[in-house]
Amino acid sequence: MVAAAVPIGDGVVDSDSLFTKDELHAAQQKDDGVRISIEFWQKGVPPDRAKIRAVPEDAKSLLLQFESLQVCDGILYRRFHHPDGTTKYWQLVLPVSLRREYIQRIQRTLDTMDRLKLAKLLLGVLISRGGAHM
């Protein structure tokens, strides 16, 4: 699961949006983990452990955070809180199919210095999670 704290538009991409609501909704419905999580959320009852064991890993990751999930206009979000409690916002749950396009769209909006900062940040995240092998 990847979550992105990005605002969404009302059907057209605007200066504050990377994807339209229609694009997000369609992509989330095609993503098994997100779609399953939305279905459980719409029932209004967290799944028991037996049901969680039977779903794909992406859905498990989301369903274990059931209390922090919210569906708005058919799009799944996760409540995010910094450990120190200073920042609270809704993160868009970004489906696998949009991840590459998300990064590409961000890169197109950044100048050279911002790109260098983003690259250092992403490299630090990869290294801290054991995803970069040097």
Residue 66 resides in a domain: yes
Q: Is 127 contained in some domain?
A: no
* Beta carbons of 92 and 6 less than 8 angstroms apart: yes
Q: What 3-state class would DSSP assign to 75? A: strand
Domain that residue 51 falls in: 2-95
In-domain check, residue 74 = yes
Q: Identify the residue with better confidence: 80 or 64.
A: 64
- The total of structural domains in the chain comes to 1
Span 75-130, pLDDT tens digits: 999 988 778 877 678 888 999 899 888 888 877 777 777 777 777 777 765 565 44
Q: Is residue 67 part of a domain?
A: yes
Per the domain annotation, does 115 fall within a domain? no
Residue 27 lies in a domain: yes
Dihedral sign for Cα atoms in the order 63, 53, 38, 43: negative
pTM for the model: 0.69
Contacts of 110 (CB under 8 A, 6+ apart): 118
Residue 86 tokens read as 């200073």
